[in-house]
Structures are given as C-alpha cells and as structure tokens.
Amino acid sequence: MSTAILPLLAVLAGYLLGAIPFGVVVCRPLGKDPRRVGSGRTGGTNVYRTAGAVPAILTVLGDGLKGAAAVWLAIWLVPGAQQPLIVALAALAAILGHNYSVYVGFAGGAGSSPNIGAFLALSPNPLWFLGAAVIGGLVWKLGRMASVASLSLSAVLLLSVLWFVYSGQRSPALLVYGVGQLGLVAWALRPNIKRLLAGGEIRVDSR
C-alpha cells in the first residue's frame, strides 16, 4: 500500500472508531435507546438517564477507549515528520465520529469521553489529566450540569495542550487538536449553551 494514503486512512479510521455508538450498543440488550430519552445523545450522561449507572460507566469506558485507539492507530500507521499533525487530526476525527456517527444516522454525543481517551493517549504523562478531571468534577459537583462540566474539561485540556507545546514536550501540531476539541465539544453543546444563557439548563438529577 502506498504510504501517501496512510495519513488519509488514519484519519478515516479515527472517525469510524469514534463513530461506534457504545451508548446504543450497551442499552440495546436492555430494550432501551438513549436517543429516545433526555437530550437524545448517545454518551454516558444520557445513558445514565436512560439505563442507570452501570450502563453509563460501560459507555464512558468504551467511548474513551475508542478515542485512545484512534490516536494509537494513527501513531502506528503514520511514522515520520507528518505524524504529529495526522495524530491530532485522527483524535479530532474520533470526536467527530462520536458526535455524528455514521452507524446511527449521524446521531451521537457531545464528545467528552472520546476526547478524554484521545488526550490520555496524546499526553506526555497521563497524570496531567488529573488536574482537568478535578476541575471538571468540581464543576459537576457544584452544578450537576454535564454540559458545563464538559466545557470546563475541554477548556482545561486546551490549556494543558498549550503547556505541552510551550514546554517543548509536544509538537506545535498538537494545537490543532487542542483548539479543535474545544470547538467540537462547544458546537455539539450549542442547545445546552442556549439553555444555560436562558437559565433553563437541565441538571442530571432532575426529571
């Protein structure tokens, strides 16, 4: 196979991996569908509303793994100088696939779980995620709004990426991922942001 096509395959594979709708897969044996409940998304928060804690945890783990897998596959497929950019694009493709899955009519989630998986795979030290997790967790604890926690987490991940690049630990190409992941999450959460501005966002423990 020509090496020229490998970058394209890496990004396409990232999308197809990200598009695996673990929320739908986990809920189907229970006779439930997260697309018909709450926000209609397929991510962990809406699976929790649909089927409870255990299916939600399984969904988050699966969604996180597919984000990491997209990064690992791109690293394996594309060596050399172009690798950092292609890996960043593959990570974004996984988030895009999660949010707009070709397997379920381009429905999906908001991108937080695959984003976390991709970040952990991209980070020079997984412990960097702890700071972002603590901030996201505090925001969640105080407000019980998944949208605010997701946006806060993505903002902290962007700041982490800026530090990785500034300190020379990662290529400047990683900024494509850092800025892009926040943009994709914010775009998916547009309805939530409108409700937040109007004071009508729904808390996860509300019915």
3-state secondary structure 29-88: HHCCCHHHCCCCCCCHHHHHHHHCHHHHHHHHHHHHHHHHHHHHHHHHHCCCCCHHHHHH
Within-domain flag for 207: no
Within-domain flag for 206: no
* 199 Rama class: left (phi>0) / alpha (psi -120 to 50) / beta: left
Q: Report how far apart, in Å, the C-alpha atoms of 202 and of each of 59, 145, 184, 205 are.
A: 21, 7, 21, 8
Q: pLDDT at position 136, please? A: 64
Within-domain flag for 205: no
pLDDT tens sequence across 127-178: 777 766 676 666 655 556 777 888 888 998 999 999 999 999 999 999 999 9
Within-domain flag for 29: yes
DSSP state of 19: T
Within-domain flag for 203: no
Q: pLDDT at position 143, please? A: 58
Kindly state the percentage of the chain with pLDDT values over 90. 68
Q: Report how far apart, in Å, the C-alpha atoms of 187 and of each of 15, 92, 201 are.
A: 17, 13, 16
**Residue 21 belongs to what domain range?**
3-198
3-class secondary structure, 116: helix
Assess contact for 111 and 149: CB atoms under 8 A: no
Domain count, the chain: 1
Number of residues that make up the chain: 207
Give bridge partners of residue 107 from the DSSP assignment.
101
Collect the ranges in the chain with pLDDT lower than 50: 206-207
In sign, the C-alpha dihedral spanning 148, 152, 157, 159 is: positive
